[in-house]
């Protein structure tokens, strides 16, 4: 029997399903897992012990079902500077500004 650990990936030998342990609740004695298709399920510790599991490596494309991209991994507290901000065109001021009239 493999002990569950948050962040570890496992393969169910009977079904071939690949999943990650995403949460443990010691008080309720449950293990929450998430499959590649995004489905989340919860196992009772007794049921977990009956599963035939093997440790598995995280698949290369595990983020695909969640539609995550590289920007999702960026720190939201860090300033974001798009490439266009460094463009010389962005420093050109227009001759007129819409909505502003000279007095």
Residues whose CB falls within 8 Å of the CB of residue 18, separated by 6 or more in sequence, listed in order: 9, 10, 11, 35, 36, 56, 59
The span from the CA of 16 to the CA of 10, in Å, is 10
pLDDT beneath 50: ranges in the chain: none
Residue 37's pLDDT is: 82
CATH code for 1-66? 2.30.30
Residue 58's pLDDT is: 86
pTM exceeds cut of 0.85: no
Residue 60's pLDDT is: 78
Residue 100's pLDDT is: 64
Residue 73's pLDDT is: 54
Residue 22's pLDDT is: 93
Residue 98's pLDDT is: 66
């Amino acid at each position: 029997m493999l002990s569950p650990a948050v962040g570890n990936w496992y393969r169910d030998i009977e079904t071939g399903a690949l999943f990650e342990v995403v949460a443990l609740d010691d008080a309720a004695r449950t293990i929450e897992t998430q499959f590649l298709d995004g489905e989340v399920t919860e196992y009772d510790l007794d049921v977990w012990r009956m599963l035939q599991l093997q440790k598995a490596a995280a698949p290369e494309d595990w983020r695909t079902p969640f539609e995550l991209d590289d920007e999702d991994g960026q720190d939201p507290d860090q300033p974001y500077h798009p490439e266009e901000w460094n463009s010389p065109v962005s420093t050109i001021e227009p001759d007129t500004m819409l909505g502003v009239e000279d007095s």
